[in-house]
Amino acid sequence: MQERILIVEDEQKISRVLQLELEYEGYETIVAADGKQALEYIEAEEWSLILLDIMIPELSGLEVLRRVRRQENDTPVILLTARDEVYDKVNGLDLGANDYITKPFQIEELLARIRANLRKTVQSGSSNETLQVGDLQIDTAAHEVIRSGNMIELTPREYNLLVCLLENKNRVLTREQLIEKVWGFDYIGETNVVDVYIRYLRQKIDKGYDKAYIQTIRGVGYSIKEGSQ
């Protein structure tokens, strides 16, 4: 089936170039020129991926992203932004963006990012597995986290971090590895963001239980182990 990409971009010259390049590569595309139109398209149709400019009329790209993720829509989103500010990039990733690219960009790089994110979607969609350690389990198809029968609410970033740790159960992951796997290979910021989110996870996953699964390996990183205490 042909993969469908929604281009959310108000600059007509840019959106036209993107549309021509993507259609040349075999993708089906539609352009939305503002945030409200983008939401209408997203809610009405199925998309393989969304290219979402941050600076668009009506609703900002970040507000569109916030509403999309609030609806539990996990369509891959790549943010397009002319800003070179760390805040926008970090904020977008924390809201659930899968990737970002700063304008002006080379079309070859954008195409590579699109292919990478579409591959991840295929891989995750084909697994539909339950990740588990002891009484903690994740239903990756339903995006549900349960411990001792209790449903645990996580933000998208907390969820992705926990999935990463469980997929690498009994292995120690460095902060740099977690940054690359969860935040993206080109994340710009301090690696202590991992420590912050590990603390958030521990409050939700381990606090109040006899057994703590998330372990700190001093000088190395973090791990979830079968025999954790």
pLDDT of residue 126: 45
Quick: pLDDT tens for 92-117. Answer: 888 888 888 888 888 888 998 888 88
The residue extents of the domains of the chain are 4-126, 128-224
CATH of domain 4-126: 3.40.50.2300
Bigger pLDDT: 123 or 95?
Answer: 95
Only one residue has tokens 């259609």, namely 23
Q: Is the pLDDT of residue 123 over 60?
A: no
The CATH fold of domain 128-224? Arc Repressor Mutant, subunit A (1.10.10)
Quick: pLDDT tens for 170-179. Answer: 889 998 888 8
Q: Which residues are 31's β-sheet partners? A: 7
Quick: pLDDT tens for 21-36. Answer: 999 888 999 999 999 9
For residues 143 and 116, what is the distance between their CA atoms, to the nearest angstrom? 21
Only one residue has tokens 């290219």, namely 51
For residues 59 and 40, what is the distance between their CA atoms, to the nearest angstrom? 12
Only one residue has tokens 């397009």, namely 80
